[in-house]
Structure 1
Amino acid sequence: MNPRVNKIRKSISDRKRSRGLAGSDSTKDLSKNQFSHLQVQEEEKHGYFPIFADQKLPKRSKSKMVSGFILKGILSSILFLGTALLLQTNNDMLDDPKVVASSLLTNEFPFAKVNQWYQQTFGTPLALTPKDNANTPDDSTLALPVSGNISESFQANGEGVLISPDEASTVSVLRDGVIIFAGNDPETNKTVVVQHADGSKSTYGYLSSTNVHLYQFVENNQVIGKFVPSENSKNVYFSIEKDDAFMDPVQVIEVDDRS
């Protein structure tokens, strides 16, 4: 046989062999891709978020996150240690800063007073949510938060009054203010506490439901919740506190009516 023919046949055979190897490699790669795709579909079908081992956060973003946490930790530690040293150092020059620091740590921040100043300066209340005009009657006179008979007077407990509505009623705030508590109280269950610009606080307890949130600005007579009488709950608790002393709500309302 012609040597040239043998050489051509050998060349053709080598090409076929090389193509076969390449095809097998591509088949393996394809099968791997199909398997991973089916695995992702199976995980998603059962509610598991697929995890991709190759997806990693860039080193730069990781370093930024770590440095941010470290910086916050350092600043918090400096603030804590600085306050502790200030309160424990006996130096006449530090008496005034001590008073200021102690006042900031112990006294309640006057949200309502700041809000009143902001409203007088800029003309609109300092609030993160728009005013709910539908729940705000136009009457500006003080009144009890809910209609009903007073079942327990201020003289009986020295803190507030209990009001017994005859039917399901809405509960309104005494005057403009800022919500500083809205949740469950150990003594008065579902409760709302409002801080007013004059430094006083009004508390509304034993409510069936509330529709306000923390640090929300509320206007005079705005509805803050509802009360539905039941066998276990027949009264709404209402109290007014100023300068760490409770006031008789009935007298406060009567004085306002006379003025």
Structure 2
Amino acid sequence: MNKGVKKVRKSIAQRKNLRSLNSGKETRKKLTPAFPQEEEKHGYYPIFPDDPQKQQRPVKQQGRLVSSIVLKGVLSVILFFGVAFLYQTDTTFLSKPMTWTSNALTKEFPFARVNQWYQETFGTPMALAPQEKQQTSNEQALALPVNGKVSESFQANGSGIMIAPQDKADIVSLDKGVVIFAGNDRETDKTVIVQHADGSKSTYGYLNSIDVHLYQSVAYNQRLGEFEPNETDKTVFFAIEKDNKYVDPVQVIKVDDVP
């Protein structure tokens, strides 16, 4: 009888020891700090399935993006059909909006005129480009954009004149204004077009390099690019356009050498 009691007590003591060991392992696991993962080191934390708010955030952002794209598309369609409706309708009260829309779609925006108005009103040019010292054409008479002989007249060319510099030279602006084109033209290769405050435009073609960019505000006699004559390219194209008509530069600028 005593032996049986001893065995029972012994088995009970062994179970208690096992329970105490297991509980000690669990507490150690709980107290052991978790090392940060690679994502956490760089500030990115994983999204666990028990956090529904974090799972819903990307879905909400995607929904907002899709809704904004849809809204822009709907507005574009409305604008397109609105313009088409104006042109298809002969109603009298729609004649003024039709005229305004036609002018806005066909006429060039007067950047130089607006820039001049802004400068006269506020005293400084608009921040279309880094501000440079502005000069007025009244300080000095207008001159050709580059020194050289006029090798082809306006009557022979039909739209401008051809100037033949003897050496490498800078191409300068006829007057202050805003650059409305700076790049490769189909007819005159590397070309710069400057819009002036009086609505006129001056064109400089067949350049070797361009030093200005689109919508940059340029001063009187400011460098626009560079030209260096070679075996194939010996002349610079220069034209003045006023009221959608080309004007003979010789009639505007005093030119000594005319063929």
The question of a shared fold, defined as TM-score above 0.5 by the shorter chain, is answered with yes
Counterpart amino acid of 1:72? K
Deviation digits for residues 30-63 of structure 1, max 9, x if unmatched? 8xx87xx4x9xxxxxxxxxxx9985975333333
Looking at structure 2, the residues matched to 136 and 92 of structure 1 have their Cα atoms a distance apart, in angstroms, of 46
Q: C-alpha distance in 1, partners of 2:220/2:235?
A: 22
Alignment-derived partner of residue 249 in structure 2? 249
Structure 2 partner of 1:123:
123
Residue pairs, 1:82-161, within 5 angstroms: 82-133=82-133, 140-161=140-161
The aligned counterpart of 2:68 is: 68
Match of 2:253, SS state, is helix
Q: Which amino acid aligns with 1:9?
A: Q
Describe the SS at the equivalent of 1:234: coil
Aligned-partner Cα distance in 2 for 1:248–1:224: 21
The alignment covers a number of residue pairs equal to: 241
Partner of 2:77: 77
Report the equivalent of 2:233: 233
Q: Give the distance between the partners of 2:83 and 2:246, measured in 1 at CA.
A: 32
User: SS in structure 2 opposite 1:77?
Assistant: helix
| Alignment partner of 1:4 out of 9, 23, 26 | 9
Q: Contact (CA 8 Å) 2:178, 2:217: kept in 1 or not?
A: yes
Contact 1:137 1:222 in 2 (8 A): no
Cα–Cα, structure 1 residues 143 and 205, in superposed 2: closer, same or farther, change >3 Å? same
TM (norm. structure 2) is 0.78
Which runs of 5 or more structure 1 residues have no equivalent in the other structure?
40-50
1:75-117: CA deviation from partner (whole Å, max 9, x where unpaired): 2222211111011101122222222211111111111112122
Q: 2: CA distance between counterparts of 1:135 and 1:225?
A: 19
Larger Rg: 2
Greater mean alpha carbon deviation, residues 111-120 or residues 61-70:
61-70
**Per-residue deviation, 1:71:** 2.1
Letter in 2 for 1:217: S
Amino acid in the other structure paired with 1:153: S
Q: Which moved more, 1:234-243 or 1:123-132?
A: 123-132
Judged with a 3 Å threshold, the aligned counterparts in structure 2 of structure 1 residues 228 and 16 are, in CA distance, closer, same or farther, namely: farther
Q: What is the CA RMSD across the aligned residues, in angstroms?
A: 3.5
Q: CA, structure 1 residues 11+162, in 2 after alignment: closer, same or farther (shift >3 Å)?
A: farther
In the other structure, the counterpart of 1:43 is none
- Counterpart CA distance in 1 for 2:231 and 2:165 is 13
Map 1:5-44 to 2 at 5 A.
Answer: 5-13=10-18, 37=38
**1:136–1:223 contact (8 Å) kept in structure 2:** no
Residue 249 of structure 1: CA displacement?
Answer: 1.2
Where 1:254 maps in the other structure, the secondary structure is: coil
Deviates more, 1:134-143 or 1:214-223: 134-143
Does the 8 Å CA contact 1:135/1:222 hold for their aligned counterparts?
A: no
Once residues 9 and 147 of structure 2 are traced to their aligned partners in structure 1, the CA distance between those partners, rounded to angstroms, is: 115
Q: Which amino acid aligns with 1:83?
A: V
Structure 2 CA distance for aligned equivalents of residues 156 and 18 of structure 1: 105
Cα 1:104–1:21 shift into 2, 3 Å: same
TM-score normalised per structure 1: 0.78
